[in-house]
């Protein structure tokens, strides 16, 4: 059918893959960092001029990378809000990330609209610091003049698609991106303009929500641009996950998501009801503590890196001689314990060895993510396979413990630009539908991710015993914290 490109504009860089539209084979790749200044003290800036995304895109596409490409899909970082005025100019730099300045705004919104349950019923999620709706409340409270000039609201991938198309009158988004805003409901498939007004203090235009295989338009040069989507949805699409699959992502914090045929409304707010890039749903449960637990333990034990911590942990045995770490070092979202701290239980003379603490850190992190998996399972989400993502997924201590603790087959895909690949697959789908060669309800069948497959096997009973040890300590320390 030709060749297509997928463009992923992450928080730090732009990655482009050029793929065969029929098989998904990656033919060419491009990369460029975003030209931004790092704030004093490190970390990422909370405000970004969207033009840097275009500059990065142009650099990544240099050298004729897009020659012969017939369609482009765009994925981009979640939660980046681009406020535009009535003329389409940016009112202020884009608000990005999940910075702490929005935490007060999130609490403000929750109290102002029926509490956590009211929000969950309205849009399938409770406001969080990173979401667009929370950033709008912060903008209204702290920059009222800018809020007053805001006439149109776009997310990062919406803005990039709009720019690629030459800034047409029509502005679009997709279900996946819209579902993360906090003012679009995956259950009803519609916006809640009243929540935008509640947050921003005024009405604002919102982009049209396209279907998964729809095209956003065609450039003057005849290049088809697909709907685009958020980075999370694009990565899931690039991995090729389907019903029965869950994805556990190991970053500093953790997330667990799974494909489900219907939206889940969770009054506790543990589940964020996102839509995926195929027309299905992608419920997500997040934890605040994943790899940061391992890094903290490595510092405490004086080991140089996570590889050394893993090697140390493998000298211990499952259950870490009774040592249990509740890894709530930054408070926790799942369970909802925002002001708690971590707990180390089971200290005995024989367990007070570095290797047992190292093992307890790995088991505590994975048990916390298993709690998140159980939130989804408890709502009827089927989990037969768990895709494990992130650099820590390669560590032997993670791979040894994960299948037994998760109670499922664990798949560790080879590192790849899955968000960019997912964006390219979306472009191939839109191109095929445009040409009449693909069904608008059936995405192209691409090669699956090359992966290592780990079975729980004989270790399942051992893993479940370790899990019960963790649950017993959690219940004793934080009774009923995981109750719906």
Nearest Cα residue to 451 out of 393, 370, 401: 393
Residue 8 parent element (H or E)? strand 3-9
CA distance 180 to 105: 17
- Residue 258 has φ and ψ, to the nearest 5°, of -150, 150
Find out whether 201 and 147 touch, Cβ atoms under 8 Å. yes
Half-sphere exposure of 143 toward its Cβ, with a 13 Å CA cutoff?
15
CA distance 195 to 182: 8
Note if the bond before 177 is cis, omega within 30 degrees: no
Residue that the structure tokens 């007070």 belong to: 352
Find out whether 271 and 285 touch, Cβ atoms under 8 Å. yes
> For residue 336, how far is the Cα from the chain centroid?
19
Find out whether 244 and 445 touch, Cβ atoms under 8 Å. no
Q: Retrieve residue 449's tokens.
A: 């991710």
Successive 10-residue mean pLDDT values, the chain, 484 residues: 93 96 96 84 80 96 96 94 97 83 88 89 88 95 97 97 96 96 94 97 97 96 96 95 96 95 85 94 95 97 98 98 97 92 97 97 98 96 96 96 97 95 98 96 92 93 97 97 87
**CA distance to 27, 364, 391, per residue, from 468 (Å):** 47, 12, 27
* pLDDT computed for residue 102 by the predictor: 81
* pLDDT computed for residue 1 by the predictor: 67
Q: Which residues contact 261 (CB under 8 A, 6 or more apart)?
A: 243, 280, 281
* pLDDT computed for residue 449 by the predictor: 84
pTM: 0.92
Question: If phi over 0 gives left and psi between -120 and 50 gives alpha, with beta otherwise, what is residue 126?
Answer: beta
* pLDDT computed for residue 42 by the predictor: 65
The interaxial angle of helices 156-164 and 51-60, nearest 10 deg, is 60
CA distance 202 to 140: 9
**Cβ–Cβ contacts within 10 Å for residue 204, how many?**
19
């Amino acid at each position: 059918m030709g060749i297509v490109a997928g463009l992923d504009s992450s928080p730090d860089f732009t990655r482009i893959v050029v793929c065969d539209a029929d098989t998904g084979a990656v033919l060419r790749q491009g990369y460029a960092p975003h030209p931004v200044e790092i704030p004093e003290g490190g970390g990422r800036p909370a405000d970004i001029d969207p033009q840097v995304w275009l500059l990065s895109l142009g650099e990544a596409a240099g050298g004729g990378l897009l020659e012969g490409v017939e369609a482009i899909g765009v994925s981009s970082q979640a939660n980046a809000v681009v406020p535009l005025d009535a003329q389409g100019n940016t009112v202020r730099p884009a608000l990005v990330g999940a910075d702490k300045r929005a935490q007060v705004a999130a609490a403000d919104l929750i109290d102002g609209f029926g509490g956590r349950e009211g929000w969950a019923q309205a849009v399938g999620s409770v406001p969080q610091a990173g979401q667009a709706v929370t950033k709008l409340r912060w903008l209204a409270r702290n920059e009222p003049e800018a809020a007053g000039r805001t006439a149109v609201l776009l997310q990062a991938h919406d803005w990039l698609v709009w720019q690629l198309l030459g800034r047409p009158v029509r502005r679009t988004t997709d279900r996946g991106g819209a579902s993360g805003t906090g003012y679009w409901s995956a259950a009803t498939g519609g916006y809640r303009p009243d929540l935008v007004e509640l947050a921003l203090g005024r009405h604002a235009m919102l982009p049209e929500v396209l279907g998964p295989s729809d095209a956003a338009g065609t450039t003057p040069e005849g290049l088809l641009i697909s709907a685009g989507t958020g980075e999370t949805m694009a990565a899931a699409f690039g991995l090729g996950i389907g019903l029965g699959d869950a994805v556990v992502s190991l970053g500093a914090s953790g997330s667990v998501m799974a494909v489900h045929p219907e939206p889940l409304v969770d009054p506790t707010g543990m589940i964020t009801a996102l839509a995926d890039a195929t027309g299905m749903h992608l419920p997500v449960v997040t934890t605040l503590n994943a790899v940061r637990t391992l890094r903290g333990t490595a510092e405490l034990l004086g080991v140089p890196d996570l590889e050394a911590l893993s090697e140390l942990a493998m000298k211990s045995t499952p259950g870490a001689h009774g040592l249990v770490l509740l890894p709530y070092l930054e408070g926790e979202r799942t369970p909802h314990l925002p002001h708690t701290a971590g707990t180390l239980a089971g200290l005995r003379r024989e367990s007070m060895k570095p290797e047992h603490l190292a093992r307890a850190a790995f088991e505590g992190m994975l048990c916390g993510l298993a709690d998140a998996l159980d939130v989804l399972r408890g709502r009827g989400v089927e989990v037969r396979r768990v895709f494990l993502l992130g650099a820590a997924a390669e560590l032997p201590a993670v791979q040894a413990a994960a299948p037994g603790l998760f109670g499922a087959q664990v798949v560790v895909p080879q590192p790849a630009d899955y968000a960019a690949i997912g964006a390219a697959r979306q472009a191939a789908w839109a191109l095929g539908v445009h040409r009449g060669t693909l069904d608008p309800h059936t995405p192209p069948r691409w090669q699956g991710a090359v992966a290592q497959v780990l079975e729980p096997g004989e270790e399942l009973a051992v893993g479940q015993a370790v899990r019960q040890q963790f649950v017993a300590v959690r219940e004793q320390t934080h009774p009923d914290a995981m109750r719906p």
